[in-house]
Amino acid sequence: MKKIIRILSVSAFFIAVFAVGKIYAQQEPQISTGEVQTDTQTQAVAPVVTMPLQSKELSGYYVQNSVKLAKDVNFFIADSTKTFYSVLTRSKKGSLISAEPNFKDKFAVVIALRPSVSLNAIKINGISVAGTDVYVDYEVISKGDSGVGYFVSNSKVLEIAKPNPITNVIFISSGVISSTMPFGKRGANSPVSVADLTTNFTGTFSGSIPSASGSGVFITLTLNPDFTYSMKQTYTASSDKAFESSGNWMPSADLSYFTLDYDKDASSQVMFYFTDKNTIEKLDVNGEKIVSDNNYKLKR
């Protein structure tokens, strides 16, 4: 296949220094030249290093009937048990079911064909990582008419070792990009790379947010590019009741949010989402956005 690749970011530095994960290789790195193909143009790129990722097919899982398959070929990403079962259902034959992924260091992708009267198979040609992007190279193989009077469908469920960081999953077929999907909780304004994060998303953020006591707390939080932080919390009801702290912070695998004191007990950790370059939003203990009319945002 023609390799679709991107220039590697400084993610290698991020991985080495903070030990947030590793790339699982099946073989030695490969140096490759190729062309980046899109639906509208072909663009030559310089030689870069690409790395295959460990993966395996999961059996006994099927796309739920309630999931809409709008296109001939549909793609889904699951980075948690919740999202996994929002798309898939288990076979009633327990002996046929593979263990679900350990979402701490793996994730799942689903390629699903829209039902048709034809028999089609999905073949995976390779899964690799370049920079912060994971590429899934697949093809749909036609096996002719099913010979039955009802619609049939097919799907492929894959467990993939999760590189760190990871920003997008890109599905390609015959050297052409079929779909580019953001990984995890990423939004349109999330950092695009570790370099972008440390350059444009660090600094001092401040604002008032609700507190457990109900009086509110004014927070001044400084994120340093070397992944250290300092924070001052002053409670609204008592200006002399202030607390200062410092430590280390770490971005999530998808670079969409970060955790203060990631290297300490979970009860000490606090998570914030990168709303954009100038705004962060406090998350709940599960890393989810807090559903409330109150403001949980700090601004730079």
Rounded distance between C-alpha atoms, residue 226 and residue 250, angstroms? 10
Query: 254 in a domain, yes or no?
Result: yes
pLDDT at 11: 40
- Give the domain range for residue 169: 11-182
Sheet holding 30-32, edge to edge: 30-32, 48-52, 118-130, 133-145, 168-173, 176-182
pLDDT at 57: 96
Instruction: Assess whether 178 and 199 both reside in one domain.
Output: no
Run of H or E including 50: strand 48-52
Residues of the chain falling short of pLDDT 70: 1-49, 94-95, 146-152, 213, 239-240
Alpha helices, DSSP H only, in the chain?
A: 11-18, 81-87, 194-200
- Contact (Cβ atoms closer than 8 angstroms) between residue 201 and residue 191: yes
CATH number of the structural domain spanning residue 271: 2.40.128.640
Give the residue from 115, 148, 182 where a domain finishes: 182
pLDDT at 215: 76
Number of folded domains that form the chain: 2
Instruction: Assess whether 238 and 156 both reside in one domain.
Output: no
245-294 pLDDT per residue, tens: 999 999 999 999 999 999 999 999 999 999 999 999 999 998 999 999 89
Give the residue from 156, 182, 208 where a domain finishes: 182
pLDDT at 22: 34
Task: State pTM to two decimals.
Answer: 0.77
Give the residue from 147, 182, 217 where a domain finishes: 182
pLDDT at 273: 98
Q: Residue 191: count other Cβ atoms within 10 Å of its Cβ.
A: 24
